[in-house]
Amino acid sequence: MGTKASGEVCGECGGRTYLIERRGDRAHARVCTCSARCGLCEGRGYAYETREETFSAKVGPKRYEVLVPCVCQHRARRIDHFNTVGLPSVAAHASFENYRAFNEAQDRARNGAMHFAHHYAKGGVNKGFILSGPVGTGKTHLLAATLKHLVLEVGLEARYVEISLLYATIRRGFQEGKSGGEIIGPLSDVEVLAIDEMGKGRGSQFEMETLDELIARRYNAGRTTLFATNYSLEPERKSVRTAAPSGYRTTEDAKTAARDVELLRERVGERIYSRLCEMCSFVELPKETPDQRRMRQELDVRPGPPPGGMRGPGR
């Protein structure tokens, strides 16, 4: 499967047998046209598998055939699972291969996420990871690439949530007569959960209680959880930059200094932070890491050569 009739690898899916597309605000997977009709079972969904067992020492090993679900059925289930993950549409094409690393820390982050995905032990104990860094540095990209591999290649069930949208979903649920537990329950039980924008929000009692309940349930059940945050993972607040020699500091200077020292520990509280230390490996990208979205925008607006091959002034 994933090949054309000529035996060549499909140029559309690259041999994966599935495609991932942007559909609304979510990433969506579907079977590639090259594999729409399975060549193994001819669309029946089942195939014969030869097995060998010894039922009698006198007779010896005996080979027999059993009817089992075809591999195309396993693929279909994985695609169905992927379409419930909730990955944002903007990350539909995110992969480890197309992640751009601009410094050693980003390279380590990609390698760490890729090692986690490719060495995940099904049924075993798997320590998650938390990525910290400035906006636009590819944290969501790596979460998406990790979940895509785990769901489509390994066969796990996983979910992705952006924390502020989760809070909004629960609030809407209250208006519909649902409890927060009804919404948190599936997120507590899924094998791998990725929580993006950790620490974001107003820090209200409702938000803190929701986050604490979700983390506590997954921690107590030994579930694997991945995180991304814009807040520093440093255990202690570093010294704030000194003021200008005159002692004068503008309002913007004060805001910038405050952002530079904001810690995840302070945003989520000691109880949750302590559990994160046990649940995850910490990976922090330096604040100097460039914003890839901003870089692309600046390249788009950079003036190009004069149209029509015209020479500049004075030539």
Specify the pLDDT at position 315.
39
Residue 153 CB neighbour total at 10 angstroms: 13
Specify the pLDDT at position 194.
98
DSSP H helical segments within 190-301, as ranges? 205-221, 251-260, 264-268, 270-279, 292-301
Condensed to tens digits (0 to 9), the pLDDT of residues 221-280 reads 999 999 999 999 998 876 544 444 444 445 544 444 444 568 999 999 999 999 999 999
What domains sit in the chain, N to C, each tagged with a CATH number?
Answer: 18-75 (no CATH), 90-239+254-299 (3.40.50.300)
Specify the pLDDT at position 53.
84
List the chain residues with pLDDT less than 50: 1, 240-249, 252-259, 309-315
Specify the pLDDT at position 251.
54
**Distance between CA 294 and CA 275 in Å, rounded?**
34
What tokens does 30 get?
């579907």
